[in-house]
């Protein structure tokens, strides 16, 4: 009797468990049928006018810059010799390496400012990819040169170091941002802001590339970041939509932006190129993660300085402020999440990959700080030599816009 009762009891318990498991399964499956998007994709009124412009705000590529075309035509030995020769002139070298890499990354991202993005061109694309690898070697070995990074044997110690580096590296409170906030004339602030729009116009794609090839918690934080970039499904909240608002709704505002983007100096490409180099080389995947941690974490102090400059100069409405104001809120969280994604990664990164994250972070700091050094020198030189604080209205693509003294 007892045995039968026990059996009946355990049968009931067993069938209850099966019932629960079944309900859990149905819940898991049902979740896949609901959408995260709903009606979020609809845009109306003034917002629709902004969304109507093609993005990113670039002209269609007609031809590669002459200097890059000539480089593609050289054999390996001649390319080595040309680059070695350029190194004697730091600005010529930097301009050539970064302008050329910028063209190659534009091609890889596939928008209309890249060559071979309308139709495949096997010969040109083979040459471009070969040049990419050679120019990235030049970037690492000669343009940025030696970057010292400590080595760690535990995730916790590496992550602690990265958090500390993110808060204290020389790019965080670089004097460029003090200058922008307190001294730069309006024309320079406007030029710098255009550079920020150009820098960030396809950051969502960079985050998408970061997710590619990662797994686990690292992938989760990269994808959460991408979901933020894409407005969590709402077109009006795409971070690039805030850049649309910065440019303005009128066609002539877009024409002016496209015209003036030609004045963006070569050194404004350094941080994008650093990111894109690491993101597009499989062996540098974890370096890209470390690089991104650094770039996310200094956004807040930099954008506070930019908002300070807007307050000082006046006449910047909410459409022009929203991108910067929103990132002061969002990017400290992104950098915390990147740190947590590394700490919680399971299985933990092996020592090589872990130290790649650290190396990528130090490379990002070295490269980014050089970009800020260049901007500051450019602006101070311009202030001393031109009444409106600007010089070189129409720089030649591939050439430095500034004769350094």
Q: List residues near Fe ion by CB under 5 A.
A: 239, 331, 334
Q: Which residues contact 373 (CB under 8 A, 6 or more apart)?
A: 174, 176
Nearest Cα to 191, choosing from 240, 261, 250? 261
How buried is 303 (Cβ within 10 angstroms: 0-12 exposed, 13-18 middle, 19+ buried)?
buried
Least distance CB 63 / Fe ion (angstroms):
32
Q: Which is nearer to Fe ion, 323 or 379 (CB)?
A: 323
Least distance CB 228 / Fe ion (angstroms):
7
Least distance CB 109 / Fe ion (angstroms):
16
Q: Which is nearer to Fe ion, 79 or 334 (CB)?
A: 334
Q: Which is nearer to Fe ion, 107 or 289 (CB)?
A: 289
Q: Which is nearer to Fe ion, 239 or 321 (CB)?
A: 239
Q: Which is nearer to Fe ion, 223 or 397 (CB)?
A: 223
Q: Which is nearer to Fe ion, 127 or 202 (CB)?
A: 202
Q: Which residues contact 389 (CB under 8 A, 6 or more apart)?
A: 184, 185, 186, 187, 188, 379, 382, 383
Nearest Cα to 327, choosing from 303, 298, 291, 293? 303
Least distance CB 337 / Fe ion (angstroms):
9
Q: Which is nearer to Fe ion, 56 or 389 (CB)?
A: 56
Q: How many CB atoms lie within 10 A of CB 272?
A: 22
Nearest Cα to 180, choosing from 281, 348, 310, 22? 310
Q: What's the first-to-final CA gap in the chain, in angstroms?
A: 101
Half-sphere exposure of residue 15: CA atoms within 13 angstroms, side-chain side: 5
Least distance CB 288 / Fe ion (angstroms):
14
Least distance CB 326 / Fe ion (angstroms):
8
Half-sphere exposure of residue 191: CA atoms within 13 angstroms, side-chain side: 22
Based on its alpha-carbon atoms, the radius of gyration of the chain, rounded to whole angstroms, reads 25
Least distance CB 329 / Fe ion (angstroms):
10
Q: Which residue is nearest to Fe ion (CB)?
A: 239
- Phi, psi values for residue 140, rounded to 5°: -70, -45
Counted residue by residue, the chain has a size of: 405
Tokens 């896949």 identify what position?
A: 32
């Amino acid at each position: 009797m007892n045995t039968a009762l026990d059996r009946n009891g355990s049968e009931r318990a067993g069938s209850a468990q099966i019932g629960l498991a079944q309900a859990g399964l149905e819940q898991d499956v049902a979740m896949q049928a609901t959408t995260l998007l709903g009606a979020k994709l609809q845009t109306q009124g003034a917002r629709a006018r902004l969304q109507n412009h093609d993005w990113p705000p670039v002209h269609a590529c007609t031809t590669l810059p002459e200097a890059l075309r000539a480089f593609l035509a050289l054999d390996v030995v001649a390319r080595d010799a040309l680059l070695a020769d350029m190194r004697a002139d730091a600005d010529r070298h930097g301009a050539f390496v970064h302008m050329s890499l910028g063209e190659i990354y534009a091609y890889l991202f596939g928008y209309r400012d890249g060559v071979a993005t309308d139709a495949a061109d096997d010969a040109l694309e083979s040459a471009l990819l070969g040049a990419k690898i050679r120019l990235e070697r030049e970037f690492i070995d000669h343009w940025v040169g030696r970057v010292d990074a400590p080595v760690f044997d535990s995730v916790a110690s590496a992550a602690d170091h990265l958090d500390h580096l993110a808060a204290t590296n020389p790019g965080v409170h670089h004097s460029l941002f003090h200058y922008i906030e307190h001294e730069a004339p309006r024309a320079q602030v406007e030029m710098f802001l255009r550079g920020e729009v150009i820098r960030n116009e396809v950051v969502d794609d960079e985050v998408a590339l970061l997710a590619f090839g990662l797994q686990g918690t690292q992938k989760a934080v990269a994808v959460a970041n991408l979901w933020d970039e894409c407005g969590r499904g709402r077109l009006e909240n795409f971070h690039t939509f805030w850049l649309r608002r910065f440019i303005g709704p009128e066609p002539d505002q877009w024409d002016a932006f496209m015209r003036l983007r030609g004045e963006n100096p070569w050194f404004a490409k350094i941080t994008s190129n650093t990111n894109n180099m690491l993101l597009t080389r499989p062996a540098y995947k974890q370096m890209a993660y470390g690089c991104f941690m650094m770039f996310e974490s200094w956004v807040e102090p930099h954008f506070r300085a930019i908002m300070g400059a807007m307050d000082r100069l006046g006449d910047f409405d909410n459409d022009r402020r929203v991108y910067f104001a929103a990132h002061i809120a969002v990017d400290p969280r992104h950098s915390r999440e990147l740190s947590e994604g590394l700490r919680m990664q399971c299985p933990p990164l092996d020592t090589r990959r872990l130290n790649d994250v650290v190396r990528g972070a130090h490379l990002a700091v070295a490269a980014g700080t050089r970009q800020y050094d260049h901007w500051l020198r450019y602006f101070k030189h311009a202030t001393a030599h031109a009444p409106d604080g600007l010089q070189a209205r129409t720089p030649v693509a591939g050439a430095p816009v500034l004769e350094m003294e």
